[in-house]
Amino acid sequence: MRDMAGSREGAAIVPSVARAARILELLASAPEGMTLSEVARALGLPPSSALAICTTLRQAGLAHRTPERRYMLGPGILALAERYTRGGLPALFMRACRDALPDARETVVLAVREWHEVVYLAQRPGNRPLAVNYHLGMRLPAHTTASGKAALSTVSDAEVREIYSLPSSSGVDVDLLIEDLRKTRDRGYAIDDEETAPGMVCLGVPITVPGASTTTAAVAVSLVKSTVDDEVLSEYVGVMRALAETLSTDPSPAE
């Protein structure tokens, strides 16, 4: 227990692990990498302690050191992310749907944004006659889908411009998209108003990560536009927010 400290709520946290996580976040925001002294300074640590944590992260594949001795995120991050989107997140989503949405009328989906597209990872299909059916692994443009706009709304305007500067994303009016994302941020949820299919309205809410400046996952529900009034809208916004909250990381120390 020697390297643990009590937190506000009485649960123990491990300072060196918290520092390691902070270093990963720092490296994520430094595409050119950071020197050991930059890392040490940012964390207010002696260089020897920063070196020990960075070395441990490198051994685990989570950090990389260039020949010029700059630290960057390591490829182990990719391997973890692939497992996360193929295993844990869809399983969590299906369980949360079972618990939180006993009324299975409308189709609810889980998607991750990849560049300017969204990939559907899981769906809880609706049981009403006109319910939409998504194919898992299906890709749609992020800028016209509720889940895509929800995920993009957590990204800075500059990053949106960068994403849409790719040749494969040409033809998108970035100014219009940025305007839409601002409204999305203000409202707290994204709307796809017949942009994917005529007569269909979708609501999307991003899955948030404390401490991360961007998130790449979102949940969305598809509704028949003619059935949606203010009351229905606000009911589903509430449901989707609750679902996103269940899937977001709970930062409370607990037990």
Binders of a second copy among 44-63, rule CB under 8 A? 46, 48-49, 51-53, 55-63
Here the tokens at position 37 are: 């002294």
Task: Please tell me whether residue 35 binds a second copy under the rule CB under 8 A.
Answer: no
Of 236, 240, 197, residue with least CA distance to 218: 240
Q: Strands 12-13, 217-224: parallel, antiparallel or unpaired by DSSP?
A: unpaired
Nearest residue (CB) to a second copy, 197 versus 234: 197
- Distance of alpha carbon 171 from the chain centroid: 25
Subset of residues 94 to 133 that bind a second copy, contact rule: CB under 8 A: 95, 99, 112, 114-116, 119
Cβ 230 to a second copy, closest distance in Å?
31
Angle at CA 35, nearest 5°, toward 30 and 41?
A: 90
Cβ 200 to a second copy, closest distance in Å?
20
Interhelix angle 15-28/36-43, nearest 10 degrees = 120
Compose the 62-101 pattern: x for residues touching a second copy by CB under 8 A, - for all others: xxxxxx----xxxxxxxxxxxxxxxxxx-xx--x---x--
Identify the DSSP state of 34: B
Here the tokens at position 176 are: 């219009």
Cβ 247 to a second copy, closest distance in Å?
7
Cβ 73 to a second copy, closest distance in Å?
4
Here the tokens at position 93 are: 């989503």
Cβ 179 to a second copy, closest distance in Å?
23
Nearest residue (CB) to a second copy, 69 versus 198: 69
Compose the 184-223 pattern: x for residues touching a second copy by CB under 8 A, - for all others: -----------------------xxxxxxxxxxx------
Peptide bond into 255 cis (omega under 30): yes
Instruction: Name the helix (H) or strand (E) containing 64.
Output: strand 63-65
Task: Please tell me whether residue 248 binds a second copy under the rule CB under 8 A.
Answer: yes
Task: Please tell me whether residue 8 binds a second copy under the rule CB under 8 A.
Answer: no
